[in-house]
Amino acid sequence: MVTSADPRPGYDEPSQHLADWSDLFARMVERMTQLKQRAPRNAAVLSEHDRARLVRDDPALAALDRGVTDHARAIEQRARFARRLGVALPLEILRERFALSRTDVDILGALATIERGTAFNPYTIGKNEPLQTDVAFLVALLSDSATTPPGEVRLRFAADAPLIANGLVELSTASGWAVDPPLVYKRVRVADRVLDFIEGSTEPPPSVLGAAGRFIAQPMAAGDVLLPEPALIEQVARALSRPDQVVALIGMPGVGRKSIAGAAARSLGRPLLIIDLGEVPVDGRALEEILRPLIREVHLQGAVFVLDGADEYADGEGQAWIFQRLADLLRRVRAPLAVAVGKSPAWIGRIGRVLMQFDVPFPTPDVQRRLWVRHLPPGLRLAPGTSLDGLVKRYSATGSSIKEACEELGRLDVVQRRGGIASEANIIDVVRTRLAHRLSSLASVVRTTLEWTDVILPDEVLSPVFEFLNYAAHRGKIFKDWGFDRKLPYGRGLSALFAGPPGTGKTMICSLLSKELGLELYRIDLSQVVNKYIGETEKNLGRVFDEAARGQVMLLFDEADSLFAKRTEVKSSHDRYANLEVNYLLQRMESHDGVVVMTTNAETAIDPAFRRRIRFRVRFPAPDEQQRMQLWQGMIPKEAQVGADLDLRVIAQKFPLAGGSIMNALVRAATAATADGGPIEQRHLLRAAQLEYAEMGFLT
């Protein structure tokens, strides 16, 4: 029996830590059980009174009891010695990280001894039954009227006590009980994961992490995280070191929020455990079953805890109730806690910590270029003339998007067939495909084969259009070099309103502008954006603007008057929420630094606040006769077969059609001519123009 501190090197190991204690417990339990079996009053449980009597009446048992007490003191001394050597013993780690009492540690040690099969159980001797222990037996085993009263041991099994609340010890009901039995009759066992940890299995297994958890034992060092503001990591680390604070890392997905948390964790000497709420069902029981083991694992590892996906979790109609459950679970977290979000969620104040917010900026062009260089697959080479600077200038992307694009680039067949050489076109195709996928449900790509030489518009229309292009080309110099960014803190984006009748060239000019600016043009599908449920329209619009900013694309809101309509007097809840949507649009338009063009057939229907905030307003008039003549002439392809009797001036004079209707009429005439087996004749054009004019609601 060891009765004094014996800090031999072997005691570094978890198995050695429990070996002597296990032997003492085994002999003590065996002796108590034998005496209890021979006792005339054989109760269902072994009480603390039985224990006191047995210890008093049996010298051998009394010696074992003293040995357990002496050995507990020796373990404490060895633990202190091991800590001085930089070695933490598992039970001491549990005591420290879960704020356990010495009695809690004794309970874990006793249960671990029994679970390992080195101790007898009072109810299973000679029965070949699984080892089981109830609360009463542990109270009898561990209580001592002088130092550890029985009541104190029983309290360690209360629902809010550390052992139970943290899932270290599990209580269950023995067979034969129709209702929930008294506490003393409940079976007790140490959780499997905790037993594994005590025995030296420190890394969390996949069965514990599941689909929602991700453990990073060695996060990336601060010097390896590419950020526009490297000092941010040190600031976050200081905030995480405060146990009364929760850190909100606010920014777009993919900008490096979790990397910052990981680098901060590493600077604190801690691993990282991330929980993705996107993998957690919006269900109270599922939330509890998934998060409780992961929260326990956070404490077992001494990790920094990061909650990801909180923006989109429970964002459906009638799901907000679950945030109270989530807050209740997070209140149990004693580890450093951070959330990666797009904006600070309202429910986070319920967990009882001081909120510290840090904005994570979008990566600068220089950082993006370095990210491309870092993530390009080994062995992949860029074709001559491929410019990463030009790519970054044209397509702005987050770190995670760049990494995923590089991985996809390395898998392209065309790149592999070229021996790992990627052209600029290959890279652009990958970036475009990924961008189109993210916006596919809310917008569609608009491309054109037309050129500026195909444009037939008066000078009063083209003048503001070219001014638009000049502003786009020089706004960087105006705001950064000339200091206008200090005078105009918001509303620096490039916005335009194109108003005019249908078919006058509004969408065509948009597509030509996007081609000139080197941007993808995405037409917003208002049928998918506008939603009857409260808050859904704002959420969809937020996605549109976020993706536009991330992908450096040009947005086209066609028929904008249906979305940017005038706010109305609030007479119902519908009016109030409709006005909220307009207000949200105003805010996003002001904060968006990208290019947005709106087209409308009814300019007066658009809210005046929008019109004031739009930098360029261009009115597209219906074409006059001379312009119609030019449109008819310019839209007939050189390859088309036309008859000798074609007189476009007559048609231009008779039918006041806009450019879109003229193109439709030409296609109609060509279809009819092909069906007749000859060229496009005057009769084909007259009939086609007549039909188009009639569809506009006019009679000829």
Cα separation, 641 vs 679, whole angstroms = 5
Beta bridge partners of 169: 190
* Residue that is last in its domain, among 567, 593, 619: 619
674 plus 560 within the same structural domain: no
Cα separation, 375 vs 175, whole angstroms = 58
Residues 372-376 have a mean pLDDT of 92
Grade residue 609 by pLDDT with cuts at 50, 70 and 90.
confident
Roughly what angle, to the nearest 10 degrees, separates helices 14-38 and 59-84? Answer: 160
254 plus 324 within the same structural domain: yes
**Distance in angstroms between the alpha carbons of the first and the last residue of the chain:** 114
Grade residue 98 by pLDDT with cuts at 50, 70 and 90.
very high
Q: Return the SS3 of 496.
A: strand
The alpha carbon of 94 is separated from its chain's Cα centroid by a whole number of angstroms, namely: 31
Percentage of the chain surpassing pLDDT 70?
Answer: 80
Cα separation, 683 vs 670, whole angstroms = 11
| Domain CATH number, residue 614 | 3.40.50.300
Which of 17-21, 234-238, 345-349, 678-682 ranks highest by mean pLDDT?
Answer: 234-238
Within-domain flag for 353:
yes
Number of domains making up the chain: 5
Within-domain flag for 201:
no
- 314-324 pLDDT, tens digit each: 877 788 899 99
Q: Is 569 exposed, middle or buried (0-12, 13-18, 19+ CB in 10 A)?
A: exposed
Roughly what angle, to the nearest 10 degrees, separates helices 90-97 and 284-301? Answer: 120
What is the full DSSP assignment across 388-441? HHHHHHH----HHHHHHHHHHHHH-HHHHHTTSEE-HHHHHHHHHHHHHHHHTT
488 plus 354 within the same structural domain: no
Within-domain flag for 176:
yes
349 plus 401 within the same structural domain: no
Q: What per-residue confidence (pLDDT) applies to 31? A: 62
Give the largest CA-CA distance in the chain.
128
Q: Are 607 and 486 in contact (CB under 8 A)?
A: no
* Residue that is last in its domain, among 561, 584, 619: 619
Q: Is the pLDDT of residue 99 over 50?
A: yes
CA angle 548, 554, 558 (to 5 degrees): 105
Q: Is the pLDDT of residue 21 over 60?
A: no
311 plus 394 within the same structural domain: no
Range of 427's domain?
A: 365-434
429 plus 341 within the same structural domain: no
Q: Are 597 and 559 in contact (CB under 8 A)?
A: no
Cα separation, 252 vs 396, whole angstroms = 13
598 plus 641 within the same structural domain: no
Cα separation, 357 vs 207, whole angstroms = 33
102-116, 281-295, 552-566: which range is least confident on average? 552-566
Q: Are 257 and 236 in contact (CB under 8 A)?
A: no
Within-domain flag for 379:
yes
More confident residue, 526 or 677: 677
| Domain CATH number, residue 374 | 1.10.8.60
Q: In whole angstroms, how large is the CA radius of gyration of the chain?
A: 37
335 plus 279 within the same structural domain: yes
Cα separation, 692 vs 438, whole angstroms = 37
Residues 474-489 have a mean pLDDT of 73
423 plus 532 within the same structural domain: no
Within-domain flag for 382:
yes
Q: Are 506 and 498 in contact (CB under 8 A)?
A: yes
* Residue that is last in its domain, among 164, 196, 228: 196
33 plus 147 within the same structural domain: yes
Within-domain flag for 700:
no
Grade residue 570 by pLDDT with cuts at 50, 70 and 90.
very low
More confident residue, 538 or 161: 161
Residue 241 CA: distances (Å) to CA of 237, 256, 389, 546: 6, 20, 39, 32
Instruction: Choose among 361, 330, 367: nearest CA to 345.
Output: 330
The alpha carbon of 645 is separated from its chain's Cα centroid by a whole number of angstroms, namely: 66
More confident residue, 52 or 508: 508
Q: What per-residue confidence (pLDDT) applies to 569? A: 47
Grade residue 122 by pLDDT with cuts at 50, 70 and 90.
very low
Q: Are 175 and 80 in contact (CB under 8 A)?
A: no
Cα separation, 608 vs 409, whole angstroms = 46
Q: What per-residue confidence (pLDDT) applies to 26? A: 61
646 plus 575 within the same structural domain: no
More confident residue, 551 or 128: 551
Within-domain flag for 275:
yes
Q: Is the pLDDT of residue 483 over 80?
A: no
What is the full DSSP assignment across 251-262? S-TTSSHHHHHH
Within-domain flag for 4:
no
- 33-81 pLDDT, tens digit each: 665 555 545 444 555 566 667 777 778 777 777 776 676 666 666 666 6
Beta bridge partners of 497: 598, 617
Percentage of the chain surpassing pLDDT 90?
Answer: 36
Give the full edge-to-edge strand order of the sheet including 133-134.
Answer: 133-134, 187-190, 169-172
275 plus 402 within the same structural domain: no
Q: Are 35 and 58 in contact (CB under 8 A)?
A: yes
Backbone angles phi, psi at 217, to 5 degrees: -70, -35
- 174-221 pLDDT, tens digit each: 777 767 888 888 889 899 999 999 888 889 999 999 999 999 999 999
Q: What per-residue confidence (pLDDT) applies to 42? A: 47
